[in-house]
Amino acid sequence: MTTPAQHSPRQPDENQNENESQDQDQDQGPGQQPPQPQDQQDRLDHDRLRVQPPAPLPLSPSTVVEKTAALLLDHYVFPDVAGELAGLLRRRLADGAYATASAEELAALVTADLQSSNGDRHLRLLHHAQPVPAGQGEATLAALRRDFDASLGGVPRLELMSGEVALLELGPVLFPVGWAAEPLSAALGLVSRARALILDLRGTRGGDPDTVAFVCSHLLDERTHLNTMHWRENDRQEQSWTQPYVPGPRFGGTKPLYVLTGRRTFSGGEELSYDLQQLGRAQVVGERTGGGAHPREGWTVHPHLEATIPVGRAVNPVSGTNWEGTGVRPDVPCEAADALDRAHALALARLAEPGQD
């Protein structure tokens, strides 16, 4: 996410000011202060009123680490690993490994230790440059809302390519379906008229499982079991299915469909790729994805730090497993930068086959 550049106030030219003062002194009586030119006075007033950046908020590494260790023990999807990692964090704290006044540095140090056991990339201490809300999950929601507003609701690109092949880019996140249903319905309704569809998920770094199901509902004809989430809390399971009804026309389950992936494709973007691939509905074109299949929750443990803890794991009904650690392996491997051209060529060749309307 980019923010508008911050411009420092224009500083006075020292030589010019000195010359102006000398000229003005000739017209003043002894002991009198010469009047300031208006533009110089405006600059001086602006400097006096300039808001100074806030001082860094106090950081207690021991408090942050203890909070993170407790959250691990209470919520991490793998309790045995949680115990090991909590012990590791406390030993490292006692050894002075986290002795820093920088929240950003502490986040990097703790994250490296959290991921040292099983490489779970959802398990981390996340640094936020700006202070974040204190409630559970609020830091993530605030960041999502900024991205949502800056990406046309998660549909940054829609294009009709040659051969009546539609390109639809989703990202940077598959936003909560309560937010995203309207822009997704509009986009998916438009591409429903295309002869083939390329779904670009190369920059899709996460998302809501309900939104994955919403998108899949437009790309399949029958109600279909997509995934089962195994949650640690109450040892419960929750199945994800496509919807029997969508608010608009469907692209459907028979026309050619290609999914573009890259190394940045992660979490919810991977689930959408994996579900469609395992069902035999789409060909995945591009690079192997990041490999994060564990849905997570976030807890603010310092105004600039959020502990993100996976609280469940996904199990696909076709493969019996998921993409954790391995990523989604493409059917047609190529560099992410070449994936669109490759998929378009595949679509055109498919449409040229006999029997394609």
Residue 275 · residue 212 · CB < 8 Å: yes
Do 163 and 103 sit in the same domain of this protein? no
Question: Which has more pLDDT, 5 or 294?
Answer: 294
Number of domains forming the structure of the chain: 2
Query: Identity (one letter) of the amino acid at 324?
Result: E
* Rounded average pLDDT over 278-307: 97
Q: Which of 111, 127, 143 is the last residue of a domain?
A: 127
Same domain, 275 and 166: yes
Tens of pLDDT along 90-113? 999 999 999 999 999 999 999 999
- Scanning 264-338, the segments in alpha helix (DSSP H) are 268-278
Residues 199 and 257: beta-carbon distance below 8 Å: yes
- Whether the CB-CB separation of 158 and 320 falls below 8 Å is answered with no
CATH number at residue 281: 3.90.226.10
Q: Is residue 29 part of a domain?
A: no
Type of residue found at 125: L
239 and 123: one domain? no
From residue 350, alpha-carbon distances to 242, 275, 354 in Å are: 26, 22, 9
**Inside any domain, residue 256:** yes
Q: Which domain holds residue 121?
A: 61-127
Helices (H), the chain: 14-25, 38-49, 61-75, 79-94, 103-114, 138-150, 177-191, 209-219, 268-278, 339-351
User: Which residues are registered as beta bridge partners of 124?
Assistant: 308
One domain, residues 177 and 78: no
pLDDT tens digits, 40-80: 655 655 555 555 556 667 899 999 999 999 999 999 999 99
Same domain for 156 and 232, yes or no, is: yes
φ, ψ of residue 159 to 5 degrees: the values are -145, 145
Tell whether 320 is covered by a domain: no
The answer to whether position 193 is within a domain reads yes
Q: Does residue 241 form part of some domain?
A: yes
Reported as a single tens digit per residue, the pLDDT across 184-197 is 999 999 999 999 99
Closest CA to 284 of 252, 318, 258: 258
Neighbouring-strand partners of residue 166: 160, 197
Co-location of 202 and 336 in the same domain: yes
Residue 339 domain-assigned (yes or no) = yes
Residue predicted with more confidence, 48 or 145: 145
Handedness of CA 270, 272, 273, 279 (dihedral sign): positive
Please indicate, yes or no, whether residues 113 and 186 belong to a single structural domain of this protein: no
In a domain, 22, yes or no: no
42/47 Cα distance (integer angstroms): 9
Pairing between β-strand 124-127 and β-strand 225-231 as defined by DSSP bridges: unpaired
